[in-house]
Amino acid sequence: MTRKRIVLTVLHRLAILAYVAFALFPLFWLLKVSVTPTSLLYTEGIRLWPSRASLEHYAFVLTHSSFPTFFLNSTIVSASTAVIVTIVAALAGYAMSRFVFRGKYWIVGLLLLTQMFPLVMLIAPMFKMLSPLGLTNSLTGLVIVYVAFNVPFATFLMQSFFDGIPKDLEDAAMIDGATRFTAFRQIILPLTLPGIAATLGFVFTAAWSELLFALMLISGNQATTFPVGLLSFVSKFSVDFGQMMAAGVLALIPACLFFLLIQRYLVQGLTAGAVKG
């Protein structure tokens, strides 16, 4: 290796390190404050690690706050949303992938349109629509809203997975007398399992993060989701930094688990939902 090569390699590794540090530091800080005992928080200032770590904030958050309920609510909402969206999007994605029919381009256009307009625009009318149905302040109402918001991008995502599976498979099954739906269910779906898992992961993460509609639609403690709970905790007890950050770490756990699950499919997911983030 020439000198120039070595210098370039070192610069490259340093740049990568800088990116990794930038990506991880805020998360590291969250973790650090969450394990810092309150008595040390103000005296030790911005030390990188407290002289004594403790899990007292976690213990408090898990036993003396409503966060376990919020966590459960968010899990129910996100899991139901993910399952429903994936089923519905698998059907539509299959149609987009396998059929050529009049109206298909209108459907694609409609799905794209829903990704372009400001969702905040729907907050007020959504509240007005759901309130007489008794669906405000209810987890069911949230699931309905989240399902609709996530279905367009999940459809594109599922379509991209079906596109990767050869058509001959279900053609052969149908020659043998199976209906298309049977072929879809028994041959195509099992082959798409990794794609289904990725779609579940993407939708779960999106529903887990949703804040604005939950703020508008939920007002009682009973149906509060984690983001709303954390935000109201922050505005009420804005000095209990340790507890807030312990709760923040809890909110991070499912997101990180699903990140591991969908990591391999990020490219596909982001191109399908390019407009979604």
Partner 1 sequence: MTFYPAAAPPDGDRRTAKQKIAAYLEPWLYSAPVLILIVAIMLVPLALGISYAFRDIRLLNPFSGAFVGLKHFRELAGDGAFRGALVNTLWWTFSSVILQFLFGLILALLLNRPFRGRALAQALCFLPWAVPSFLSGLDWAWMFNPVVGPIPHWLYALGILSEPSNILSDPETAMWGPIVANVWWGIPFFAITMLAALQAIPKDLYEAAEIDGAGPIERFRSITVPFLAPTMAISILLRTVWIANFADLIIVMTNGGPADRTQIVASYIFTQAFRRLDFGYASAIALVLLVLLLAYSMLIVVLRQTMLTRH
Q: What residues between 27 and 66 interact with partner 1 by CB under 8 A?
A: 27, 29-30, 33, 41-42, 45-46
64 vs 106, beta carbon nearer partner 1: 106
Tokens of 236: 């009420």
Q: Which amino acid is at 57?
A: H
Closest CB 179 distance from partner 1, rounded Å = 10
133 contributes a contact to partner 1 by CB under 8 A: no
User: What is the Cα gyration radius of the chain?
Assistant: 23
Among the listed residues 62, 83, 197, 234, the single contact to partner 1 using CB under 8 A: 234
What residues contact 139, with CB distance under 8 A and at least 6 apart?
A: 73, 76, 77, 80, 223
Torsion of CA 159, 160, 161, 163, to 10 degrees: 80
**Per CB under 8 A, which region of 17-25, 51-59, 62-70, 190-198 contacts partner 1?**
17-25
95 contributes a contact to partner 1 by CB under 8 A: yes
What residues contact 186, with CB distance under 8 A and at least 6 apart?
A: 173, 178
Tokens of 33: 């404050």
Position of tokens 């209990």? 240
Among the listed residues 82, 157, 245, 272, the single contact to partner 1 using CB under 8 A: 245
Closest CB 222 distance from partner 1, rounded Å = 20
**Per CB under 8 A, which region of 54-62, 64-72, 102-110, 189-197 contacts partner 1?**
102-110
Among the listed residues 51, 55, 104, 134, the single contact to partner 1 using CB under 8 A: 104
7 contributes a contact to partner 1 by CB under 8 A: no
Site string for partner 1, 151-190 (x = CB under 8 A): xx--x---------------x--xx----x----------
75 contributes a contact to partner 1 by CB under 8 A: no
Closest CB 16 distance from partner 1, rounded Å = 5
30 vs 53, beta carbon nearer partner 1: 30
Q: Whole-angstrom Cα distance, residue 157 to residue 195?
A: 8
Position of tokens 């399952």? 83
SS (H, E, C) 139-187: HHHHHHHHHHHHHHHHHHHHHHHHHCCCCHHHHHHHHCCCCHHHHHHHH
SS (H, E, C) 97-114: HHCCCCCHHHHHHHHHHH
Number of residues that bind partner 1 (CB under 8 A): 91
**Per CB under 8 A, which region of 57-65, 97-105, 186-194 contacts partner 1?**
97-105
Among the listed residues 37, 62, 83, 98, the single contact to partner 1 using CB under 8 A: 98
- List Cα–Cα distances, 247 to 61, 230, 234, in angstroms: 7, 7, 10
63 vs 100, beta carbon nearer partner 1: 100
